[in-house]
Every structure is written in C-alpha cells, then in structure tokens.
C-alpha cells in the first residue's frame, strides 16, 4: 500500500550555503506538483528568495507526510533520531558522494523524487538503540542511536576493563580499547573498521564488536533484536560512552551501561531501483572480474 504525500518538509545540513540552489530546485519541483513545502527553522536561514512555512522539527514530525534531507549521512543520522518518534518517512539526498543513508544524487534527484512521489519506492525500517548509564541505581544518562553505542577508553589512556551480560547472563570479561554495540545500519560505520560483520538492514539484530581486545579470541557476537546488553565497568581509565558519536558521557568504575532496542524505528524511502549490494560495491570498492 503506497503512502500519500501532500506535505513535504525540506531539511538541509546546517551552516552550508551550498544547499540553497538545490533546495530551491526541490521546492519549485514540489510546488509544481501542487504539494505543500515546509522548512525547519535552521534550513530557512539559507532560503531568502522564497517564503515557505517554517516549523520546528517536532511540528514537522506531526505535519509532514515526507521529509527530504539534503546533506550527508551525519545530517541524516541527526534528523532521523529526532524524527523517529513521529514515524515520518525520510529520503536522503547527498551533496557529494552517495552515502549509506543519503543515497540519492543531486544530479538525478528530481527524477528520482518524482518516481518516489508517484509510488515507486522501497520502504526500509531501521531499528534504533537506547542507551542508559546507571550509577548506584540512579539513571545519569540516556540517548538514542541509529548507528551504534560505543564504550571507549579515554584519549591517551590504557585499555579499559569491563564485563558483558546479555539478558542477565554473563558472557565475558574484556580488556580492550572498548566495545561497539551496533545496529545493522551502524555495521558499515565504526563497527566495520573494528572488524565487525556487515549486517543487512532488513535484519533485526544487534552486534557486539570488541575494539582492539587484549585476547584475540574475543570476537564479534550477533544477538537478537530484543536482547538487553549490560556492560559493567571495572577499570575505566577515563572511559566514555558515545551514542552515534554524538551524545557522550564520562564513565566511572562500577557504572552500568544498558543498551536495548528502542520501541521507535526510522522509516527510510529509497528509489524502487535501489540495491543495497550495489551501494556496498560502490562505497567499499568491491570489484567484478572482467
């Protein structure tokens, strides 16, 4: 069943004057199809030639049928986390090289957007993680992550020590530079550079990827989507928790990090010709035999 798109919000990378021209092109294109165009307040600072309805992100989440994000994967990560509570579908347009999340090209964006508005698209639901830090049974930190939650040693510090539990069952104690708890979306980000597996975005699963473990037998583990992961800190060395490399918090000995699946998800729309494997080949430089 196709979604109905009547009100479209445009959101761009902040502090980037280069988005004005493509934003205006998209806005004019949408208006030519008799669609209402909305802007968030930050994006509106780039648009001076034309007046559109300006709303907060929360208002956009309530009123928009579709949100078009112009920028890179970092911009999409930020917007996706903020709009996940509203279940509004997102489309990503990349200004440079195509990203893992922003997979539409500026060169062909109007043609592709037209196809999506005509109902030719693929819907992907991407899982999110919630992360909490408990200290003496008191909640001190919580954050949402589309990519990953990482526990890392401090800059210039030594390895940190912690133990990992899954669903209240002890799994292992680890001495390492850290641990990445990743969604399928984040499996091609920080976790990939640490030797983690690539998880197809259609999977509902969570991967635990050690970062430079002292014992080489500590390998990545993939668990189910409803698993509750607990990391109990021992030797911290100024360790920190990071959520999508965005929100962060300093950890102390005996702190407990609790990570679980969020009840919310991100809804991404792709062109009907979108191929995840083709995108992997292009982004990771995989080659074909000639």
Query: Buried b / exposed e across 4-33, counting CB within 10 Å, b at 16+?
Result: ebebbbbbbbeeeeebbebbbebbebbeee
The residues carrying an active-site annotation are 73
C-alpha angle 207/211/212, rounded to 5°? 140
* Sheet with 221-223, side-by-side order of all strands: 221-223, 206-211, 178-182, 148-152, 240-243, 247-250
* Separation between Cα atoms, residue 69 and residue 48, nearest integer Å: 19
Size of the chain in residues? 290
φ/ψ (deg, to 5) at 90: -125, 145
* Separation between Cα atoms, residue 8 and residue 38, nearest integer Å: 6
Place of tokens 């690539």: 198
């Amino acid at each position: 069943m196709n979604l109905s798109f009547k009100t479209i919000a445009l959101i761009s990378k902040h502090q980037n004057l280069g988005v004005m021209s493509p934003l205006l092109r998209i806005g004019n294109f949408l208006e030519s199809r008799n669609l209402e165009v909305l802007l968030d307040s930050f994006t509106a600072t780039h648009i001076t030639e034309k007046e559109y309805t300006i709303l907060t992100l929360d208002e956009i989440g309530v009123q928009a049928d579709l949100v078009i994000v112009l920028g890179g994967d970092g911009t999409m990560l930020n917007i996706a986390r903020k709009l996940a509570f509203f279940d509004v579908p997102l489309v990503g347009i990349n200004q440079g090289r195509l990203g893992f999340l922003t997979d539409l090209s500026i060169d062909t964006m109007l043609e592709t957007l037209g196809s999506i508005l005509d109902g030719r698209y693929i819907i992907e639901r991407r899982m999110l993680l919630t992360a909490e830090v408990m200290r003496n049974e008191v909640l001190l930190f919580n954050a949402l992550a589309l990519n990953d939650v990482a526990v890392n040693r401090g800059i210039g510090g030594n390895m940190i020590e912690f133990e990992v539990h899954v669903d209240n069952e002890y799994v292992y104690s680890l001495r390492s530079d850290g641990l990445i708890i990743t969604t399928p979306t984040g499996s091609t980000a920080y976790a990939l550079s640490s030797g983690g597996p690539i998880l197809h975005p259609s999977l509902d699963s969570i991967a635990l990827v050690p970062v430079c473990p002292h014992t080489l037998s500590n390998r990545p583990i993939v668990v189910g989507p409803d698993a509750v992961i607990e990391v109990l800190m021992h030797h911290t060395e100024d360790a920190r928790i990071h959520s999508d490399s965005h929100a962060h918090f300093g950890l102390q000995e005996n702190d407990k990090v609790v990570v679980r699946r969020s009840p919310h998800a991100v809804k991404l729309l792709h062109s009907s010709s979108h191929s995840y494997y083709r995108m992997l080949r292009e982004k990771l430089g995989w080659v074909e035999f000639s």
